[in-house]
Chain A
Amino acid sequence: MANLKLTDVEKTYGGTVTVLSDINLEIETGELIVFVGPSGCGKSTLLRMVAGLEKITGGTLEIDGVRVNDVPPSERGIAMVFQSYALYPHMTVYDNMAFALKIAGASRAEIDEKVRAAAEKLQLTNFLDRLPKALSGGQRQRVAIGRSIVRDPKVYLFDEPLSNLDAALRVATRIEIAQLKEQMPDSTMIYVTHDQVEAMTLASRIVVLAGGGIAQVGSPLELYERPNSTFVAQFIGSPAMNLLAGRIVGTGKVTTLELPEGGGTITSHYPSKPEDKGAEVKVGIRPEDMVEAGDDRFAYRGEVEITEALGEVTLLYFRKSAPGHDPVIGKLPGIHKGLRGQEVKLTAAPEKVHVFRDGVSLLHRDAGVFVPGVQPH
């Protein structure tokens, strides 16, 4: 039940090491915002600054229009779920959840009601008397979430809450968190992860953090369909988007490109300006958007080095054009046998073709895009 506003937020350690700078972000009430980015990019740092566990060294943070830079964590109306759960090991599940309420001076009856309601919601009722060490990882995670719920905070903060769970449990808990969010449509949540599947499935908006700044903010599909830079293009989606060297040969409402690397031509729905003609660009095509092409209208032609048949799709890894280059990857629906070692020609529909000049998408080039100076993977 709160909106957040970050203005020019900056984090510097010891006056010299700048981890984050120029963070500008507005978060609306009821949003589930996901911070995603490569490891070490400062996601946790940003979240902990919102929580008040880390000093904000520059800029302002407002919650509900009130500047809270110097407000202690417990008075910001936030609750946090830590990666390691951070349960109090010597307290029962009940006491873990009741701790904050006791400090706040709630009455016994009120504490009991809230704890039991939260336990009900999270299927923890049968475990209230247990110590954390007698719980499974998933249950511990739920206790950590329960500890937040009982406080009825304005903003929920999650720092990689699923990364200590095994794969199957991670999916189940992810769905539980999504359902929890649905039950509490008014609560604002900030969720940190390095896992883009979590980001894509949970977020109402994703904030891609990298290289000390925000690379792009947008809904999951916006980031997928209209990435503003080669960084975001390659960070979102798996396998990563192919980036092929290209040259603009036709400009206008759509752009026509020649691909020296693949030997073909292709059209993109990105508009371009007349002065772009002849510009060297990167042409981005997602592996899943690649389709087999006929002899005349192909974009890329190459020798298939490895195939991976997954049943529903077949992944084609083409021979690298130069050592050190990423291989071009195609993801074709269905089963394709005997392509290994063959020459294959591929293309993509114009609305699936992205064009980046100097690392910035032609669609976003007037928006002052921040291009992180790091590799997405």
Chain B
Amino acid sequence: MHPAFQGLITIALGVGGCVAYFYFANQALDRVLFPARGPNAGRNINRANMIRPWVFLFPALFVLCLYLAYPVVETLRLSLTDRDAGDAFVGLANYQQMASEPKFWEAIRNNILWLIVVPAASTALGLLAAQLTDRIAWGNIAKSLIFMPMAISFVGAAVIWRLIYDVRPDEADQIGLLNAIVTALGGDAQAWLTIPFWNNFFLMIVLIWIQTGFAMVILSAALRGIPEETIEAAIVDGAGPLRIFFSIKVPQIYPTIIVVWTTITLLVLKIFDIVFAMTNGQWETQVLANYMYDKLFRANDWGVGSAAAMVIMVLVTPILIWNVRQVRREMR
């Protein structure tokens, strides 16, 4: 059978199955379990309505448990055992080993760098772009251009930027955009991605380039939500454009800024693709997720790999909780 045909059948079965599940589960609830007739009709309707949300939520909850909760527990178990020794419990030995590896501390340091730079830079640039494109005639075109990188996958973006940072031997023509500019200005071509410490920032630029569009779109909507009259009142009060921006506008969209900031922070903690595709953690650019991948799938060291995964999870969770709280507060 043609693969496309198989795909279609799968889709039909999947969608049909979902519809069928909801339809028949609902029918069973209303007709068989708690029929809305007989002496207890009223009580039955109430009970059916109490159970219905759970029936409808069941597939989602089930899948969530299978693919989210179970892996967490299993990863925790793996991080505390040694696979090669027949799954023997080894306590914190994996964590100890991880802590003794310089590559791990390099990854921690780099993740902290990413954490400080990328969310701040993306949010600030996004806010700037949102404010500047708001009132100009071709603002929407500018916005589309800034937003476009959002549509590119991280790996795709990494490939694009590897070409920008590309370096050729001195005698050849430089095809990398950055080196082309540098040599045109009379400088020497650099192997940008191999310059320790600074190469981290060259990687971060890729993510900032992508996430600025996201920040801009969300913050632009927030800026538009600010009541025009508060801005006019500030104008009458004598505030200049900068003061209006920082004293009137930014405080009013502060909750949104936090949401954007934390959302990007979550993304940064899990950053993998860009590093993987551009340097693979060489030249001191390792990050936690790539370190975990290295251990798990290259070194086949399940214990340390799982320990790294647990570290990432522990770091992400508090920010995630804060983020969800902020989003909820803003919806109120």
In the bound complex, residues from chain A placing their C-beta under 8 Å from that of B233 are: 80, 82, 86-88, 147
Q: Are A86 and B232 in contact (CB under 8 A)?
A: yes
Q: Are B230 and A53 in contact (CB under 8 A)?
A: no
A78-B248 CB under 8 A given contacts A88-B230, A89-B230, A90-B254? no
CB distance from B227 to the nearest CB of A (A): 7
A82-B254 CB under 8 A given contacts A99-B237, A103-B243? no
Complexed CA–CA distance, A224 and B96 (Å) = 92
Chain A residues numbered 61-113 whose CB sits less than 8 Å from any CB in chain B: 72-75, 78-80, 82-84, 86-91, 99-100, 103-104
Q: Which of A51, A79, A89 has the most CB of B within 10 A?
A: A89
Complexed CA–CA distance, A91 and B254 (Å) = 13
In the bound complex, residues from chain A placing their C-beta under 8 Å from that of B279 are: none
In the bound complex, residues from chain A placing their C-beta under 8 Å from that of B247 are: 99
Complexed CA–CA distance, A74 and B252 (Å) = 22
Is B235 in the interface zone, CB < 8 Å from A? yes
Q: Are A88 and B236 in contact (CB under 8 A)?
A: no
Q: Are B234 and A99 in contact (CB under 8 A)?
A: yes
Q: Are A104 and B238 in contact (CB under 8 A)?
A: yes
In the bound complex, residues from chain B placing their C-beta under 8 Å from that of A90 are: 251-252, 254
Complexed CA–CA distance, A74 and B232 (Å) = 11
Complexed CA–CA distance, A147 and B239 (Å) = 14
Q: Which of B232, B234, B237, B247 has the most CB of A within 10 A?
A: B237
In the bound complex, residues from chain A placing their C-beta under 8 Å from that of B230 are: 86-89
In the bound complex, residues from chain A placing their C-beta under 8 Å from that of B248 are: 88
Is B229 in the interface zone, CB < 8 Å from A? yes
In the bound complex, residues from chain B placing their C-beta under 8 Å from that of A75 are: 238
Contact with B235, one of A74, A84, A87, A91 (Cβ below 8 angstroms): A74
CB distance from B284 to the nearest CB of A (A): 43
Closest to A89 in B: B252
Contact with B236, one of A79, A83, A89, A104 (Cβ below 8 angstroms): A79
A82-B232 CB under 8 A given contacts A88-B248, A89-B252? yes
A78-B227 CB under 8 A given contacts A90-B251, A103-B243? no
Interface extent on B, as a size class? 10 to 19
In the bound complex, residues from chain B placing their C-beta under 8 Å from that of A53 are: 232, 235-236
Main secondary structure of the interface of A (DSSP, over half): loop
In the bound complex, residues from chain A placing their C-beta under 8 Å from that of B236 are: 51-53, 73-74, 78-80, 100
Q: Which of A79, A80, A91 has the most CB of B within 10 A?
A: A80
Closest to A82 in B: B229
Q: Give 1 or 0 for each of B291-326: 1 = CB within 8 Å of chain A CB.
A: 000000000000000000000000000000000000
In the bound complex, residues from chain B placing their C-beta under 8 Å from that of A99 are: 234, 237, 239, 247
Q: Are A74 and B238 in contact (CB under 8 A)?
A: yes
CB distance from B231 to the nearest CB of A (A): 9
Q: Are A86 and B254 in contact (CB under 8 A)?
A: no
Chain B residues numbered 202-248 whose CB sits less than 8 Å from any CB in chain A: 227, 229-230, 232-239, 243, 247-248
Contact with A103, one of B227, B238, B254 (Cβ below 8 angstroms): B238
Complexed CA–CA distance, A361 and B1 (Å) = 92
Complexed CA–CA distance, A99 and B231 (Å) = 13
In the bound complex, residues from chain B placing their C-beta under 8 Å from that of A104 are: 238
Q: Are A103 and B251 in contact (CB under 8 A)?
A: no
CB distance from B236 to the nearest CB of A (A): 5
CB distance from B137 to the nearest CB of A (A): 14
In the bound complex, residues from chain A placing their C-beta under 8 Å from that of B243 are: 103
In the bound complex, residues from chain B placing their C-beta under 8 Å from that of A80 are: 232-233, 236
Complexed CA–CA distance, A123 and B150 (Å) = 53
In the bound complex, residues from chain A placing their C-beta under 8 Å from that of B252 are: 88-90
Chain A residues numbered 95-141 whose CB sits less than 8 Å from any CB in chain B: 99-100, 103-104
Chain B residues numbered 87-142 whose CB sits less than 8 Å from any CB in chain A: none
CB distance from B232 to the nearest CB of A (A): 5
Closest to B229 in A: A86
In the bound complex, residues from chain B placing their C-beta under 8 Å from that of A52 are: 236
Closest to A81 in B: B233
CB distance from A95 to the nearest CB of B (A): 10
In the bound complex, residues from chain A placing their C-beta under 8 Å from that of B238 are: 73-75, 100, 103-104
In the bound complex, residues from chain A placing their C-beta under 8 Å from that of B251 are: 88, 90-91
Chain A residues numbered 129-164 whose CB sits less than 8 Å from any CB in chain B: 147, 151
The 4 closest A-B pairs by CB, nearest first: A74-B238, A86-B229, A100-B237, A90-B251
B residues near A, CB below 8 A?
227, 229-230, 232-239, 243, 247-248, 251-252, 254
Further contacts, 6 of them, CB under 8 A, given A88-B230, A90-B251 = A53-B235, A53-B236, A75-B238, A78-B236, A91-B251, A99-B247
Contact sample, A vs B, 21 pairs, CB 8 Å cutoff: A53-B236, A73-B236, A73-B238, A74-B235, A74-B238, A74-B239, A82-B229, A83-B229, A86-B233, A88-B230, A88-B233, A88-B234, A88-B248, A88-B251, A88-B252, A89-B230, A99-B239, A100-B236, A103-B243, A147-B233, A151-B237
